[in-house]
Amino acid sequence: MSDHELRGDELRGEVKIEELTKAFGEVVAVDGIDLHMPPGEFFTMLGPSGCGKTTTLRMIAGFERPTSGRILLDGVDVAHVPPHKRNVNTVFQSYALFPHLDVAGNVAFGLKYRRLSKDESKTRVADALELVQLGGFARRKPGQLSGGQQQRVALARALVLTPRVLLLDEPLGALDARLRKGLQVELKTLQAELGITFVFVTHDQEEALTMSDRVAVMNGGRVEQAGSPREVYEEPSTEFVADFLGVSNLLSGTAATDGNGNCALKVGERTFRAMQGAVSTRGEAKAMIRPERIVVEQHDTPGDNRLPGLVERAVFLGNSFELHVRVVGGDVLKAFMPNDGTAMPAAEGAAVTLHLPAEALRVLAPSPAPSEHAPEQTAEPVVSSD
């Protein structure tokens, strides 16, 4: 093993999860998921609490034994290897720094099992602390550090062992917003520098989008969609993904072909052309559009894919306005208007026309059918949208 510097072997650190299931008694926390985490990538599991992301992470770490399925670490199935024999390390949500040891003692904890000389392990502890910019803190106790500093110690303690994969369980969850932003950037930079595979768990969609190379959106123990941040945001394949990743507007209607290979979605009296997503869907279907893609126009502007409405609320967000527009048929659509000084901010009660461009309107595939592993589990968990 190349244990001499704080740098993972760039060719390794690949995690493949196959048909992984974890049941706690009657409750299926992880329901036969497949995931591929390529070496050297920043991989994020994103989802609401109870979606199985943390259980999956704990199975990769070795704290939970899978009910069935395989966890391949660089091609070797480690599903039933105890945690102290896996070359993966974890940064815990609450850091779990040993309170009876000082910072250096914490960082040096795992080096005992690496058969290093005293000098060597001293050097590596110092290097690791430098890496997380805590050079002068070696003799402090964890209780004397701020939340952000504790987080860095936890990071150093794991990275000093040059793991092939670093697991991070909502490591920024306990920090205030400002500190979070700073550490998000730092973590991402660190990951890119070290080339270690990071497997990150969060329920914060913004965090997931800004940091990751790849995001797996999870819900009810299943993976709804995995892909690059842009893919999952701009091309959500299910309603859940569309809704969980930011604000989205949904239109329900009947899908038919428009004769040009696109979808014509009939919503009430009106028909909208949709060019994105599962355009070959027929019958009952849903389409989504992001609020920032809706164009707010003067009332009675003519054209396709337009519908009139009344502004119910106009929320000032600083750089933009969020308009809640009640359209004909009774639905409320949300639209963002940039605060660029040109557009007339629509006041509450004003009549406007919303343009839903066909190239921004996305037909959603129905949510995946319940798995064959748990056929009795027909009721999908209730998803709270924001």
Partner 1 sequence: MRAWLRNPWGQPRALVVVTGGYILWSLVPVVIAIMFAFNAGRSRTTWQGFSFRWFTGPVGVFHDPALQGALKHTLFLAVICVAVATPLGVTLALGLQRWRGHGAGTVNTVMLLPLVTPEIVMGVALLLLFLKVFPGLGLGTVPQAIGQVTFTLSYVVVIVRGRLVSIGREYEEAAADLGAPPHDQILRVVLPLLAPAIIASAAVVFALSIDDFVVTQYLAGGASTTTVSMLLYATARGAPTPALNAIATVALVITLATLSLAFFVYKRFAGGGDAAVAAAMEI
Binding residues vs partner 1 (CB under 8 A): 61-63, 82-85, 88-90, 92, 94, 96-100, 109-110, 112-114, 157-158, 161
Residue type, 293: R
Closer Cβ to partner 1, 157 or 286, answer by number? 157
Distance CA 159, CA 226 (A): 27
Dihedral angle computed from the Cα positions of residues 198, 201, 202 and 207, in that order, rounded to the nearest 10 degrees: 10
Answer for the pair 216, 244: CB distance below 8 angstroms, yes or no.
no
CB 191 → partner 1: shortest distance, Å? 19
CB of 15 to partner 1, least distance (A): 16
Taking the complex as a whole, the smallest distance from the CB of residue 2 to partner 1 amounts, in Å, to 17
User: In this complex, which beta carbon is closest to partner 1, that of residue 88 or of residue 196?
Assistant: 88
- What's the burial of 344, exposed, middle or buried (CB within 10 Å: 0-12/13-18/19+)? exposed
Nearer residue to partner 1 within complex by CB, 147 or 366: 147
Q: Which is nearer to partner 1, 56 or 219 (CB)?
A: 56
Q: Strand, coil or helix: what is 182?
A: helix
Torsion on CA atoms 217, 228, 187, 111, rounded to nearest 10: 80
Nearer to partner 1, 85 or 118 (CB): 85
- Looking at the Cβ atoms of 30 and 161, the one nearer to partner 1 is 161
Residue 362 CA to residue 290 CA, distance in Å, equals 9
* Shortest Å distance, C-beta 167 to partner 1: 8
- Rounded distance between C-alpha atoms, residue 191 and residue 187, angstroms: 6
* Cα gap 238→339, rounded to integer Å: 31
Smallest gap from Cβ 110 to partner 1, in A, equals 3
Place of tokens 């990751």: 212
* Comparison of 85 and 178: residue with beta carbon closer to partner 1: 85
Helices (H), 35-99: 53-61
Q: Which is nearer to partner 1, 56 or 262 (by Cβ)? A: 56
CB nearer to partner 1: pick between 31 and 64: 64
Shortest reach from residue 31's CB to partner 1, in Å: 23
Contact 183, 148 (CB under 8 A): yes
Output the smallest distance, CB 321 to partner 1, in A. 45
DSSP strand pairing (306-316 vs 351-355) = antiparallel
Contact 21, 69 (CB under 8 A): yes
Give per-residue burial for 103-115: e unless 16+ CB within 10 Å, then b. Answer: bbbbbbbbbeeee
Looking at the Cβ atoms of 100 and 178, the one nearer to partner 1 is 100
Least distance in Å: CB of 229 to partner 1? 28
CA atoms lying within 13 Å on the CB side of residue 264: 10
User: Strand 270-274's sheet: what is its strand order?
Assistant: 270-274, 263-267, 249-257, 283-289, 362-364, 276-277
Min dist. Cβ of residue 5 to partner 1 (A): 19
The residue behind tokens 């919503």 is 267
CB of 111 to partner 1, least distance (A): 9
Residue 272 DSSP SS3: strand
